[in-house]
Amino acid sequence: MAFGHSLKNACDFALLALCILAGNDLAFAEDAPAVGARDRVSLNAGWRFQRWTDKPDSVSYSTMKPWIMPSANDFIKNTAKRARRPSSEPANVTFAQPDFDDKAWELVDVPHDWAVKRPFYAGANAVIGGDMGRLPIHGVGWYRRAIQLDATDSGKSLLLDIDGAMSYAMVWLNGRFVGGWPYGYASFRLDLTPYARSGNNQLAIRVDNAMESSRFYPGAGIYRNVWLTKVSQQHVAYDGTWITSGQVSDQSATLDLVTIIENLSTASSATEIEVSTDIHVWDAASGKAAAKVGQFPSVKIAVDGGAKHTVNASTTLQNPRLWGPRPLQEPNLYIAMTRLQSGGRTLDEYHTRFGIRAVQYTGDGIKINGQRVYIQGVNQHHDLGSLGAAFNVRAAERQLEMLQDMGCNAVRTSHNPPSRELLDLADELGILIMDEIFDTWNSQKRRNDFHLIFSDWHEPDLRAFIRRDRNHPSVVIWSFGNEVAEQRARNGAATAQSLKDIVREEDPTRYTTVGSNNAGPNDAFTGVADIIGLNYQGEGRGTGAATFPDFRAKFPSKMILSTESSSGISTRGTYIFPVTTSNSITVSDSQGGDPRNRYVSAYELYAVSWGASPEKVFAAQDRYPYVAGEFVWTGWDYLGEPTPYDLSRSSYFGIIDLAGFPKDRFYLYQSRWNPTVKMAHILPHWNWPNRTGQVTPVHVFSSGDQAELFLNGVSQGVQKKAISSGSYRFRWDRVVYQPGELQVVTYKDGNLWANATMRTTGEPSGLHGSTYRDRKTIKADGADLLFISIAVVDQKGDVVRQSNNAITFSVQGPGEIVTTDNGDPTDMVAFPSPERKAFGGLALAIVRAKAGSSGKITVTASAKGLVSAEVVLEALS
Ligand SMILES: *[C@@H]1O[C@H](CO)[C@@H](O)[C@H](O)[C@H]1NC(C)=O
Ligand SMILES: *[C@@H]1O[C@H](CO)[C@@H](O)[C@H](O)[C@H]1NC(C)=O
Ligand SMILES: *[C@@H]1O[C@H](CO)[C@@H](O)[C@H](O)[C@H]1NC(C)=O
Ligand SMILES: *[C@@H]1O[C@H](CO)[C@@H](O)[C@H](O)[C@H]1NC(C)=O
Ligand SMILES: *[C@@H]1O[C@H](CO)[C@@H](O)[C@H](O)[C@H]1NC(C)=O
């Protein structure tokens, strides 16, 4: 069948009602071509985009709400509360019309963040201030793109899958309103079929970001992937499978599979569907399904048009290879391949990757496959530094890899659902996830945050979130809130209970928590979630504050977890004197802070007023080993929330800076969390021409238990690690500065362990380039990224750590600089700039190969008076 007759063809995709309007018969489905299996087409490329800071159209959420709410219906349990689409249509919108001329609009690909490449707003009273990252996230954005449909799409369901659009997304096809989803972190599906026609279709998406909508950088625009799923009208529903394991041991595992099948057909078609699911090993090396190892019993069903049918099946797998977090265990994965067949035709093929593991939540921590896993976690916001919120798999993978090198085994997705791909990566790398959905409930933190729509949307958002993420073995804890204002309010416990009830309905296999920073042991709120999640409470933040034993006494068998710990702050490579003799102190203008330059000392002893140094947290965790572990605030620096200096653009909390350079703290965590790595790390740098003769403390982070420091060959004394007195570092606080060489020799159990040296350098003489993990090839798929670090070095090749030379990047060959950065939270040069000052002797360039091209890419970094660096890469198409 060809698309020869336009009216009839329009019907091929149309709702019954539309076809009646068009005066057509409905017999076409009879001669529709055989429908193949599912086709998931990326819609990432080739959008036209425009943004306005004033009001460009007459559209608003409140007027469109009656047509938006039906998008949530699959996720609202009480059928009486589901919205019906009004019988009238909303007013036409110019920018959604097929004939609107968008040629003058910017051509962009998604994932796209319209704010991150623009200039920063500097100064006090900026339009967007420090908290939201000083970037222009606000305004209304329109995205338009054509979709071509041909004969093979006839008779199929055409489903638009948007993984994340910030925020208040609304979608039109061919000028007609389809639906929307306001929460910017949600993934959602809309059915385009009733509005589609043969040939050219015009998709239009509107997003709207208010000012004061977040406490941190939210990003702006369609910042995650967009897909068009083309599949038979009888198919596995959106996120419509769920695999759980009941009895799990090394010998066998019982598996339960729930498959939701929907029938979007309005015409007669196949009456019986056979549903069968095979289980295959997932081969991590090839990224593909390998040997078949089992299957679920197949069943035959019929599904009424417009209805859903749930199929349950169980099986037992012998000798399962279990999923567990690295480094203690291995992240083995399986893939379930579900097939829907009817009359010899395959209607749908749907794949669900999963892992088999047993999780026990106890008063003495979490056990995975019977083994206690101490949570060595970090909080991570969703932005990817200079790339902003625009999701990129390679950038996220690098973040996780560096955290794993440090010994981190868990991530809390503070405070919003992550991308789907982040969870895929966590599954593959073996990282535990505390998956979090909300930063606010009914009560606001910012004027325009989620509290505005909480009452309408908390249920659909929560159900959709859990159905999306519950097959990921990495996800072990659901969090349905963070530091909500309701903690001590009268209705707080009731709201918490209703949210927890929803979570447990959607997934009774995992425990829930909420990050609580001020609900105490006696507040009703604290007893609601399964796990007591404490932000800063318990780690000893001061007199009068509740302690871990206070919570333990009240809830002796509940798991207690530091969902947010430390909030240590520092600026990489910046050392401020004098250095506190304490092991943890609140930063101030006279203690660790430099308000003029807006830097915080990297001696890593300084924290915000509600926090504590890493070591003070370690001490509290060691004193109370029943605490399940900690999620440090934060793993990486992030855009926005630049406490304590609001004039800056990005945070000081990260263990790793915004560009991806580890701060000194990285090695402190590594010494505790990854103790088999033989390492020693000296701070500060040793270029202090003005400090000759002055006391300049030298501290060392090492996994050894004893250390001796030498300055120009003269011993400064032997130290033993004083963990029992709360010191997890070696510190020589009375070293008198003279230029030359520091060397530390460390020991463990009496044997030599690791050494490190730090030399006074000469003047900068050149630049040295290297690539992350030494990778020199890059896929020319338009998505892969390569991370190039440039160091300012002296004649001997030592990094000159206080240098800030202006570096210019250039590229020859089929590649481009995407962004540059240096990790300096005060640097207000826009991210795409090829000119970037070194900070602490280092700068970063992120490079992409031009899609479809191959060959040599040469990246050159040059700086006045210095020998240039050249990094040669190969693009593979
Ligand atoms: C909207 O536009 C369509 C054609 O694109 C037209 O048929 C319809 O009448 C318009 N609706 C309103 C309310 O103007
Ligand atoms: C899907 O719904 C249509 C319309 O009600 C019906 O004719 C058809 O048999 C259903 N398909 C299945 C597999 O049940
Ligand atoms: C199928 O499994 C789900 C989830 O465990 C359960 O809620 C439902 O009752 C089961 N349905 C049947 C028919 O057993
Ligand atoms: C050392 O002192 C001189 C003179 O006060 C000053 O110009 C210079 O910036 C200082 N150097 C450093 C590295 O602090
Ligand atoms: C570390 O230093 C000690 C003492 O100088 C020396 O004996 C040892 O060989 C060094 N180890 C390494 C790995 O350099």
Of the CA atoms within 13 Å of residue 356, those in its CB half-sphere come to 28
Distance CA(261)–CA(40), nearest Å, equals: 17
What is the 67 CA–ligand 1 centroid distance (Å)?
Answer: 16
User: Which tens digits make up the pLDDT trace of 846-874?
Assistant: 999 999 999 999 999 999 999 999 999 99
Q: Report how far residue 559's alpha carbon sits from residue 545's, in angstroms, rounded to the nearest whole number.
A: 20
The label of the residue with tokens 């659901």 reads: 478
- The token pair that represents 1 in the structure block: 């069948």
| DSSP bridge pairs for 140 | 52, 208
Catalytic residue among 262, 428, 486, 564: 564
List pLDDT tens digits, range 286-338: 999 999 999 999 999 999 998 999 999 999 999 999 999 999 999 999 999 99
Could you tell me if 181 and 152 are in contact, meaning their C-beta atoms sit under 8 angstroms apart?
no
Q: Tell which residue, 211, 18, 679, 660, has the closest CA to residue 403.
A: 660
Q: What is the pLDDT of residue 33?
A: 37
Smallest-distance ligand from the CA of 739: 4
CATH class label, 10-231: mainly beta
Domain 372-567+609-639 has CATH 3.40.50.2000: no
Amino acid at 563: T
Is pTM beyond 0.75? Reply is yes
Q: Report how far residue 334's alpha carbon sits from residue 281's, in angstroms, rounded to the nearest whole number.
A: 5
CATH topology of domain 680-759: Immunoglobulin-like (2.60.40)
Q: Kindly list the distances between the CA atom of residue 54 and the CA atoms of 63, 92, 537, 744, in Å, as whole numbers in the listed order.
A: 18, 20, 43, 60
Pairing of strands 680-683, 698-702: antiparallel
One-letter amino acid of 600: V
pLDDT of residue 726: 86
β-pairing, 629-633 vs 559-566, is parallel
Ligand sitting nearest the alpha carbon of 467: 3
Which of 16, 259, 263 has the most ligand 2 atoms within 8 A of CB, as the residue to mutate?
A: 263
Pick the CATH number of 235-354 from 3.30.70.100, 3.40.50.2300, 3.20.20.70, 2.60.40.10: 2.60.40.10
Which residues in the chain land under pLDDT 50? 1-35
- For the question of residue 615 being annotated catalytic, the response is no
**Minimum-distance ligand to the CA of 577?**
4
Strand partners, 173: 176, 203
C-alpha 802 – ligand 4 centre gap (Å): 12
Question: CATH 2.60.120.260: which residues of the chain?
Answer: 10-231
Helix axes 614-623, 665-673, angle to 10 degrees: 20
Residue spans in the chain of domains classed CATH 3.20.20.80: 372-567+609-639
Contacts of 139 (CB under 8 A, 6+ apart): 51, 52, 53, 208, 209, 220
Q: What is the dihedral of CA 386, 390, 393, 398, to 10 degrees?
A: 20
Assign 672 to helix, strand or coil.
Answer: helix
Kindly report, as residue ranges, where domains of CATH 2.60.40.10 are found in the chain. Answer: 235-354, 680-759, 766-876
Q: Is 403 exposed, middle or buried (0-12, 13-18, 19+ CB in 10 A)?
A: buried
Residue with tokens 């807006």, as numbered in its chain? 598
Kindly give, in sequence order, each residue whose CB lies less than 8 Å from that of residue 28, ignoring residues fewer than 6 positions away: 8, 11, 12, 154, 155
Which residue owns the Cα nearest ligand 2 atom 9?
Answer: 271
pLDDT at 9: 34
Atom 9 of ligand 5, residue of closest alpha carbon: 752
Does residue 23 sit in helix, strand or coil?
coil
Pocket test of ligand 2: the residue of 304, 341, 342, 345 to mutate, having most ligand atoms within 8 Å of its CB, is: 304
Q: What is the CATH number of domain 766-876?
A: 2.60.40.10
Classified as helix, coil or strand, 34 is coil
539 catalytic, yes or no?
no
Tell me the three-class secondary structure of 681-701, residue by residue: EEECCCCCHHHCCCECCEEEE
Which of these is catalytic: 428, 436, 483, 604?
Answer: 483
The answer, yes or no, to whether any atom of ligand 4 lies below 6 A from the CB of 23, is no
